[in-house]
Amino acid sequence: MKHNSDYIDKVLERNAPSAGGGFSEEGLKRAEALIALYPKKRSALIPLCHLAQGEHGWITEECIEEIAGLLGVSPAEVSGTASFYDMLHLEPVGQYVISVCTNIACMLAGAYELLEAAEEKLGIAAGQTDTDMRFTLEEAECLGACDTAPCLQVNSRFFGPMNSASFDKLITDLASGALAGVVPPHGVLSRVERVFALTAKDTDDAGAIDSKEAGQK
C-alpha cells in the first residue's frame, strides 16, 4: 500500500471514530494549505469538512467552529452545507459505514432482501449504528455499480453482487480485520480512498470491486 505522507499514515491508523474534538495540529496545517489553494477562502468549506471527517470519522462541533473561524463564515453555514451531503456526517458513525443500494437495478436484483438480511445480521435498522460503533447501516441511491447489482459500499469500497451469505462473510471479515488493507476507515481523505481502490485487487474473495470499474471518480 502506498500513500503520501506521515499525516495520511496517522489518519489510516485511526480504527474507530472519535467522540469529538477539533483539528489536530497537523490537520490545522493541512486546512491552511487547502485554504491557500482557493482565491476565496469559503471555497475550501467542503474540503475542510472532508478533512474533519478524515480525522474523526465525522464532523465534530469543535471542527465546525474551527472551520467557520478559518473561513470567516458562521458555524450555521458550515453545518448547513455539510448537512446537505449524504457522505458528510454530523454525528458519530460506525467504523464501517455500509450503504446498501436499493435503486432500480439493485432493487430488481434483490436489494431489499439484502437490506433485510443486513438489518437482521447487524441487529439494527437502516439509518442506525450498532452499540459498539462498529457498523452503520444506510440505504443508498445508485452507487454507479449497477452491473454488480445488488451491491453495497463499505466506506469507499464497493462489494457486489451480494446476497445474505456473502454479506455474513463480509461482516465476519470486517470484524476480524481481514479486510483492513482493503477497506479504509470511514472518512479518510478521498485521495487516500483512491489509493486503496487502485491498489486493491480487482475482485477479492469477499467480492470487492475495483472502484474504477464501479465508476468511482
Nearest of 97, 172, 101 to residue 136 by alpha carbon: 97
Between CA 137 and CA 125 the distance in angstroms is: 7
Only one of the segments 6-14, 71-79, 142-150, 177-185 lies at the binding site for ligand FES (rule: CB under 6 A); that segment is 142-150
Task: Write down the least CB distance from residue 214 to ligand FES, Å.
Answer: 8
Q: Which three cell numbers stand for residue 195?
A: 489509493
Residue number, 31 or 118, with CB nearest to ligand FES: 118
* Residue type for position 170: L
Cell numbers representing residue 53 in the block: 471527517
CA gap 125, 114 in Å, rounded: 12
C-alpha cell at 46: 467542503
Please list every residue from 29 through 48 that binds ligand FES, using CB under 6 A: none
Q: How many CB atoms lie within 10 A of CB 191?
A: 11
Residue 89: strand pairing partners:
none
Q: Contact, 159 vs 171, CB < 8 A?
A: no
Closer Cβ to ligand FES, 70 or 197, answer by number: 197
Closest contact distance (angstroms) between CB of 161 and ligand FES is 10
Q: Which of 48, 78, 117, 145 binds ligand FES (CB under 6 A)?
A: 145
For residue 115, state whether it binds ligand FES (rule: CB under 6 A): no
Nearer to ligand FES, 17 or 160 (CB): 160
Of 73, 105, 175, 178, which one interacts with ligand FES (CB under 6 A)?
Answer: 105
Residues lying near ligand FES in the complex (CB under 6 A) are found at: 101, 103-106, 142-146, 149, 151
